[in-house]
Chain A
Amino acid sequence: MGGWAIAVHGGAGVDPNLPQQRQEEAKQLLTRCLNLGISALRSNLPAIDVVELVVRELETDPLFNSGRGSALTAKGTVEMEASIMDGCGRRCGAVSGVTTVKNPVSLARLVMERSPHSYLAFSGAEEFARLQGVEVVDNEYFITEENVGMLKLAKEANTIVFDYRIPALGLETCSAVVESPIQMNGLPISVYAPETVGCVVVDSQGRCAAATSTGGLMNKMTGRIGDSPLIGAGTYACNLCGVSCTGEGEAIIRGTLAREVAAVMEYKGLGLQEAVDFVVKERLDEGKAGLIAVSSKGEVACGFNTTGMFRGCATEDGFMEVGIWD
């Protein structure tokens, strides 16, 4: 026990028909990010620095749904959100409605450290970014051709599916080739972009941190906020653990998922894996989500009730694993 540990994720809810090449690319990215985190930990960087660094890497790479490569709003634009939490003192920072900031997780960190607040959004967040001199680009920078195509498919799927709680009717007439009837957030899994990226770390001093970043739901209404920037829902860290969640935002928010893991450890005395299992099993109702977590004791755990979750984890004693499926 003890020693550092790190976990990363690139979203829960994966199309079982995802082409092999995409699966490989994802695993390579996760491996690269893990290694980045591991080097940082070996250089004794504190957990809060490591989670930021790793999530920046995930945001910069267009593969997953955050930063460049973010899912698109109904208008075809990008609106990003992120949050970060330092288990030491439970300091936190979050941003939503970010449209020009290259690395939303870093802006969230600046909110935590350089503003009197914990959460800034939309024009206020953008203004703060300029005052802080962070790197900004045009909104087009974040938009990928692939996601433009995905948005079109999502719109087609959504003209049929209005209430995501009702099974989709007439999906056969949709031009999207839907081979599996799996749905998440009202979209067929083939067009649903995994929602989020995240990283949790415990360093060799036992300090935990967590960070989550996303472009949000494909075809979302402008102004829609999901679970990723909400402390206690998508992200949480305290002196016991660090947690980052991904999946159906509504389910994660209602279940205050990230806080839940910490609460059962704190108030019920459960160990990390037990806590993760309990939360995934008992707190998601009909929702679909996944999470990664680390404990101050150097343990790492993940859990999901979705079809797959892009993830990777490593501990100081040499354990390392990158995976997608169960």
Chain B
Amino acid sequence: MGWAIALHGGAGDIPLSLPPERRQPREAALRHCLQVGVDSLKAQKSPLDVVELVVRELENNPHFNAGRGSVLTTEGTIEMEACIMDGKTKKCGAVSGLTTVVNAISLARVVMEKTPHIYLAFDGAEKFAREQGLETVESSHFITPENIERLKHAKEANRVQIDYTQPVEKETPTVDGDSQIGTVGCVAVDNDGNLAAATSTGGLVNKMVGRIGDTPIIGAGTYANNLCAVSATGKGEAIIRGTVARDVAALMEFKGLSLKEAAAYVVEECVPRGNAGLVAVSAKGELTMAFNTTGMFRAAATEDGYTEIAIWP
């Protein structure tokens, strides 16, 4: 059977004309994170350890929307969220509203393993992080010049919709497609069919303070059980409504679809076009990466030697 791993750095309207100076560092990062994951699987680390490790790498890389490099809220601040799930036990941990924790995914894991709860947020989560001795830094550490620009563009595009007392269109058109990029994630399965999924993000650019997306919501952005592990990315609101991660597993279980068929069905039917992508692996060692956006930063490998690093279809 063999192990398999897939990771993503966000799905969105990634322009085909993305200049090399923006494309190459991301491809290099995907390559590096994939190698970290592959090496850990070869060293027999559990899928839960592997997904946490890989997502930590992605969070530390400033080119993706998680940890350092997170997009900014409408007030120019950072609010990070993450989620991790162990397929074998269905234990999970999630965090939201983090401002100083260097690796949100690790805090999510600590919530899972050291509390009787699943989900901690904002001040309570920050306090818990300190109690547990997790690494914290000044919030400015996470902010990059690129994201300050993104926020500026987003505000310009949204200029006509500042009055939130009027009904608002959920589909906000963006001038710079690049600003829709959201989330990093990783899924892995080992030789024994143990599965795990992890997702982390800075959220939606120009989001309202306190806005929570799909990433920390079990069944929406993240899910793992004994059949498969899924990590989704894209427009959070659509992924929540479409219960994307859970539905991939549900289609396999209740309709007998294969991993690939289930993933394809979900991105076609459960979310509007241009809104989502996902990576998934099955207990049998299969893997799939599906998206209905222009592109998705992704990388994958299986034990039999297959490797892929890509952005567009």
Closest chain B CB from A267 CB (angstroms): 4
B255 / chain A contacts, CB cutoff of 8 Å: 267-268
Closest chain B CB from A246 CB (angstroms): 16
B128 / chain A contacts, CB cutoff of 8 Å: 221, 223
Task: Give Cα distance in the complex from A45 to B17, angstroms.
Answer: 51
A264 / chain B contacts, CB cutoff of 8 Å: 254
For B193-231 the 0/1 string (1 means CB < 8 A from A) is 000000000001001111111000111100100000000
A131 / chain B contacts, CB cutoff of 8 Å: 164-165
Query: Assuming the A-B contacts A114-B167, A122-B122, A232-B219, are A250 and B117 also in contact, with contact meaning beta carbons closer than 8 angstroms in the complex?
Result: yes
Task: Give Cα distance in the complex from A94 to B96, angstroms.
Answer: 14
Closest chain A CB from B278 CB (angstroms): 15
Closest chain A CB from B227 CB (angstroms): 13
A119 / chain B contacts, CB cutoff of 8 Å: 211-213, 217, 240
B169 / chain A contacts, CB cutoff of 8 Å: 116
B250 / chain A contacts, CB cutoff of 8 Å: 259-260, 263, 267
Most buried by A among B94, B116, B208, B254: B116
Task: Give Cα distance in the complex from A278 to B211, angstroms.
Answer: 34
A contact face: mostly helix, strand, loop, or mixed: mixed
Query: Assuming the A-B contacts A91-B241, A115-B164, are A223 and B116 also in contact, with contact meaning beta carbons closer than 8 angstroms in the complex?
Result: no
Instruction: Please tell me the number of chain B residues within 8 Å of chain A, measured between CB atoms.
Output: 53
Residue of A nearest to B117 (CB): A224
Closest chain A CB from B18 CB (angstroms): 26
For A113-134 the 0/1 string (1 means CB < 8 A from B) is 1111111111111011001100
Task: Give Cα distance in the complex from A253 to B212, angstroms.
Answer: 16
| Docked-complex contact A223 and B217, CB < 8 angstroms | no
For A90-110 the 0/1 string (1 means CB < 8 A from B) is 111010110000000000000
| Docked-complex contact A92 and B164, CB < 8 angstroms | no
B247 / chain A contacts, CB cutoff of 8 Å: 263
Task: Give Cα distance in the complex from A118 to B221, angstroms.
Answer: 14
- A326 interfacial by beta-carbon distance below 8 Å: no
| Docked-complex contact B165 and A222, CB < 8 angstroms | no
Residue of A nearest to B171 (CB): A116
B96 / chain A contacts, CB cutoff of 8 Å: 121, 225
| Docked-complex contact B246 and A232, CB < 8 angstroms | yes
- B25 interfacial by beta-carbon distance below 8 Å: no
A267 / chain B contacts, CB cutoff of 8 Å: 250-251, 254-255
| Docked-complex contact B121 and A225, CB < 8 angstroms | yes
B contact face: mostly helix, strand, loop, or mixed: mixed
- B261 interfacial by beta-carbon distance below 8 Å: no
B241 / chain A contacts, CB cutoff of 8 Å: 90-92, 118, 231
Residue of A nearest to B166 (CB): A114
| Docked-complex contact B210 and A118, CB < 8 angstroms | no
| Docked-complex contact A124 and B118, CB < 8 angstroms | no
Residue of B nearest to A250 (CB): B118
Closest chain B CB from A152 CB (angstroms): 20
Within 8 A of B (CB), among A198-248: 220-226, 230-233, 236
Residue of A nearest to B92 (CB): A254
Task: Give Cα distance in the complex from A131 to B122, angstroms.
Answer: 21
B91 / chain A contacts, CB cutoff of 8 Å: 254
For A274-287 the 0/1 string (1 means CB < 8 A from B) is 00000000000100
A232 / chain B contacts, CB cutoff of 8 Å: 217-220, 240, 243, 246
| Docked-complex contact B118 and A249, CB < 8 angstroms | yes
- B115 interfacial by beta-carbon distance below 8 Å: yes
- B300 interfacial by beta-carbon distance below 8 Å: no
Task: Give Cα distance in the complex from A249 to B240, angstroms.
Answer: 18
Partner of B120, one of A91, A117, A123, A223: A223
Closest chain B CB from A164 CB (angstroms): 5
Task: Give Cα distance in the complex from A254 to B94, angstroms.
Answer: 12
Closest chain A CB from B41 CB (angstroms): 25
Closest chain A CB from B236 CB (angstroms): 7
A263 / chain B contacts, CB cutoff of 8 Å: 246-247, 250, 254
Closest chain B CB from A201 CB (angstroms): 19
- A186 interfacial by beta-carbon distance below 8 Å: yes
Chain B residues close to A by CB (< 8 Å): 90-92, 94, 96-97, 115-125, 127-128, 161, 164-170, 172, 204, 207-213, 217-220, 223, 236-237, 240-243, 246-247, 250-251, 254-255
Given contacts A91-B241, A260-B250, 9 further A-B pairs with CB under 8 A are A118-B237, A120-B211, A122-B123, A124-B210, A164-B116, A230-B218, A236-B243, A256-B243, A263-B254
